Amino acid sequence: MIHSRLLPLVTASVLVSCGAPTTDVAPTDPPPTEGGAIVFAQQQISAESGDCADDGPHCATVQVDTLETLGGGNSAVRENIDLYLAHDLISRLRSFLPEEHASRANTADALAAEFLAQHRAFVAEFPDSPARWSIEITAKARYNTASVATIDITEFAYTGGAHPNTRRRLVSFDIASGNLIGVEDLTTDTGELATMVENQLRADRGLGLEDDLEAAGFWLPEGGFALPDNLGIVADGVLFHWDSYEIAPDAMGPIDVMVPAADLTEIVSPRFW
């Protein structure tokens, strides 16, 4: 069974539809407006196998809570954000399917249905396996002003194996242009920014400037410490993120480094705050 819905970010009512997926907007939604911060709505999709109702060992679920723009900015900016979010969601769902199955589904609803079908096929082949599969994808507006919209996308998935997998992606959009904001858009002094992030990482981990990061368990590229492309502008500064296994073993978990906005005034434009 798959349920889909679209509702304003500020509402908390629940509307459930059975059968064919549907999308609904509450009748009290304000019309889209131009200018200012982006107005977001939540778009929710949920799907589950029949075994879930009885809390059986062969339950499979897909839960998506993503965003769609309703107003703010301008139409080109909103379209760019919506296209990014839609493409990101489709790519994530496709990554859990064999290529021949992923390529024949073009919507999130259809991909969720394919995931449940793959689970049913697995259970049919291995009926004694307690195969509880799940995908949870959530997109939230982390920081939202007339200048910047930062979206925090998290993913949790388990399809068998020793442990579930998690991923997180931070993306910031320049509301003036609709473009993604990368390191080069933040500053022309990327070397100084890298030094600041490295020093903050050391401070967070109780390491001095003379301590060897690799000896402390971190994995570094040949040239030494490098900035990730996973970053977001937030109210307090710039947040840099590495998923597990990207810069350190899984035992160290995902790693976040926050560089305060007050420390960035000489190399990053203040317009972001």
CATH number at residue 108: 3.30.565.40
Q: In terms of domains, do 152 and 263 share one?
A: no
Q: Residue 245: left if φ>0, alpha if ψ -120 to 50, beta else—which one?
A: left
Within this chain, do residues 67 and 191 fall inside the same structural domain, yes or no?
no
Q: Are residues 66 and 95 in the same domain?
A: yes
Q: What sign for the dihedral angle of Cα 171, 175, 180, 183? A: negative
Whether 152 and 20 share a structural domain: yes
Please give the pLDDT value at position 20: 35
Quick one: 24 and 133 in the same domain?
yes
Q: Do residues 192 and 152 share a domain? A: no
Total of domains in the chain: 2
Q: Are residues 67 and 170 in the same domain?
A: yes
Residue by residue, DSSP assigns 70-111 as EESS-HHHHHHHHHHHHHHHHHHHHTTS-HHHHTT--SHHHH
Which amino acid is present at 146? A
**Can you say how many angstroms the Cα of residue 178 is from the centroid of all Cα atoms in its chain?**
18
Same domain, 192 and 141: no
On whether the CB atoms of residues 257 and 201 are closer than 8 A, the answer is: yes
Any residues with CB less than 8 A from the CB of 238 and at least 6 apart, and which?
186, 231, 232, 258, 259, 261, 264, 268
Rounded-to-integer distance, Cα 200 and Cα 32, Å: 41
- For residue 35, the model assigns a pLDDT of 84
pLDDT value, residue 11: 30
pLDDT at 87: 96
Which one, of 3, 75, 65, lies nearest residue 39 by Cα? Answer: 75
Question: pLDDT tens across 100-116, in order?
Answer: 888 878 899 999 999 99
Nearest Cα neighbor of 26 from 50, 39, 7, 46 is: 7
Shared-domain flag, residues 148 and 27? yes
Listed as ranges, residues in the chain with pLDDT below 50 are 6-28
Predicted confidence at residue 29, as pLDDT, reads 53
Predicted TM-score of the model (pTM): 0.86
Range of the domain at 256: 183-272
How do residues 127-183 score in pLDDT, each as one tens digit? Answer: 888 789 999 999 999 999 999 999 999 999 999 887 899 999 999 999 999 999 999
Same domain, 65 and 195: no
Kindly give, in sequence order, each residue whose CB lies less than 8 Å from that of residue 219, ignoring residues fewer than 6 positions away.
247, 248
**Residue where a domain stops, chosen among 126, 149, 174:** 174
Contact 68, 140 (CB under 8 A): no
Same domain? For 9 and 140 the reply is: yes
24: number of Cβ within 10 Å: 11
Taking each helix axis from N to C end, the angle separating 75-94 and 108-125, rounded to the nearest 10 degrees, works out to 10
Q: 188: domain CATH number? A: 3.90.640.20
Residues 153 and 52 in one domain: yes
> Which of 117, 144, 174 is the C-terminal boundary of a domain?
174
Give the per-residue pLDDT at 67. 97
pLDDT confidence of residue 10: 35
Angstrom distances, CA of residue 245 to CA of 144, 164, 202: 30, 13, 18
